[in-house]
Amino acid sequence: MDQLRIIGGNRLSGAVSIAGAKNAALPQIAAALLSPLPLELTNLPKVSDVENMLRIVETYGVHVLRDGHATRLDTSSLSLREVDYDTVRRMRASILVLAPLLVRFGHARVSLPGGCAIGARPVDMHLKVLTALGANISVQGGYIVADAKAGLTGARIVLQGPSVGATETTLMAATGARGETEIINAAREPEVVDLANCLIAMGARIEGAGSHRILIQGPTEWRAASHHGIPDRVEAGTYAAAVAIAGGQLELVNARLEHLASVVQVLEGMGVTVWPSDRGIVISGPDRLTPVDITTEPYPGFPTDLQAQFMAIACRAEGSSLIRETIFENRFMHVPELKRLGADITLTGSSALVRGGKPLKGAPVMATDLRASVCLVLAGLAADGETIINRVYHLDRGYERLDRKLAQCGVNIERISQ
């Protein structure tokens, strides 16, 4: 397994290009299964989660053609086949193929998915949505089996909470259902809006994406389509956090300020300066960081996928910061490793009290999941001496060439192949 070796103390400078959003790309690849006509996706990030999702749809007979920055998905030869469990177990987003296969064939059998070990993250909401639309669902031997031989029928779907995955499953299923589907308490994330825009390009009739109420008129008359994905707001927030913790100034090319309002509010509260540029956003780090309290919330609140990164920043702030995690359980697995670097953190339930301002010192650490991995990278930027990060395959799931991008910004970082 590869390692990352970081020598801390360097400030960041220059510009970094923000890749396409992984969490937008995955449902759009799944959405291609809905239609017998081709879908071209541009701005897919080069990360292992996207590669695994492409392998999954290829197993079902999708012909994947890459041409520069475009990926063409031809589903004209689609068939129901069994996907190798070793591929599915690596990512929870594999559940997103369930609704499209059900729409296309009236039947689907999909393995219970894997992904980050950050709590339960149940798929129950996906299954309840499909049941409400008329599917018969059972779980047999680790597989979800869904049947809707008579087709799906539109319904009023009231989600228990604004779940991104459940909203995306409902959107895709409703495009193939008869009549109107109404989603109440829908997730508002930019990735949900981007999926809706992709489906609209494919012929779907959708209104209200980005609000808590979405209407879908089905069934859809599909057409060949092309869609350009949004930039990754989590990657942008991660590089902004890198500037905050290490200092310097960095332009985030392609980043969208409107997707990062809650993140910018926290950054500015810590003393970081943020302003728009012709190509994206510019981040300038302060000489001294101010502590701040953070609570993760559904969009447009502060994203849970940036909680670990901002905990690393809080370790450098002069004073105490309180971080509350309200989205996922057990998402503080990076804390023991941060403590190995000298962080002073106390956990109480879903809250972390970070007593900042104490020097971090390089040490060997172990990544436990995607966001914890990058949290340790950021801490390594500010630590004295050498930090060695193990299990960096987690990073490759969601960050496009992170070590190379940081190196071009002035960070002393090296990938070591084992």
Q: Which two tokens stand for residue 201?
A: 């390009």
Mind listing the pLDDT tens digit for each residue in 104-123?
A: 999 999 988 764 443 455 68
pLDDT of residue 418: 77
> How much is the pTM?
0.95
User: What integer pLDDT is reported at residue 116 of this predicted model?
Assistant: 42
State the pLDDT at residue 91: 72
Segment 378-398, tens digit of pLDDT = 999 999 999 999 998 889 999
Lowest mean pLDDT among 106-110, 117-121, 186-190, 266-270: 117-121
Of the pLDDT bands very low, low, confident and very high (cuts 50, 70, 90), residue 368 is confident
Q: Please state which of the four CATH numbers 3.65.10.10, 3.40.50.620, 3.40.50.300, 3.40.228.10 is assigned to the domain occupying 3-19+231-416.
A: 3.65.10.10
Q: Does domain 22-228 have CATH number 3.30.565.10?
A: no
Q: What pLDDT is recorded for position 119? A: 45
Dist. CA 385–CA 362, nearest whole Å? 5
Asked if 3-19+231-416 and 22-228 have one fold, the answer is yes
In the chain, what are the domain boundaries?
3-19+231-416, 22-228
- Which of the two residues, 121 and 315, has the higher pLDDT score? 315
Q: What is the pLDDT of residue 87?
A: 72
Say whether 116 is catalytic.
yes
Which pLDDT score is estimated for 122?
Answer: 67
Residue of higher predicted confidence among 278 and 114 = 278
pLDDT band at 371 (very low <50, low <70, confident <90, very high): confident
Across residues 340-360, what is the average pLDDT?
97
